[in-house]
Amino acid sequence: MVPEVPLPEELFQIPGRKIVGLIIDPFKLNNIREERLRTMGLHADANYANVSRIEEELNYAKTVMRRLHCPVLDVTNKSIEETAGMVMQIIQKNRVMDTR
């Protein structure tokens, strides 16, 4: 999700309880992106890994998530497995609430 690419309107027709937003500390994401660029043999100073750009992207994502009324998880220091488990808990909790 980047500010320059419009999101499909269909996304906003999905109930927020069926969506889980993920956020991360901008400096952590910067480190991840710099390493990814190095691994790919690209310059780590690309806009893709610029902290200001990352903050802009995260602020945009937070705005979208508020509009979606979806739960948001901070995955800054979480493994993929931990994140998946947390997402599954949210989904299961919302399923139980839907059956009431």
Closest Cα partner for 29 from 54, 60, 64?
54
Place of tokens 């100073």: 45
Give the type of residue at 53: R
Tokens of 52: 């200001």
- pLDDT tens, residue order, the chain (100 aa): 999 999 999 999 999 999 999 999 999 999 999 999 999 999 878 899 999 999 999 999 999 999 999 999 999 999 999 999 999 999 999 887 777 6
pTM of the model: 0.87
| Dihedral over alpha carbons 55, 28, 4, 40 (to 10 degrees) | 140
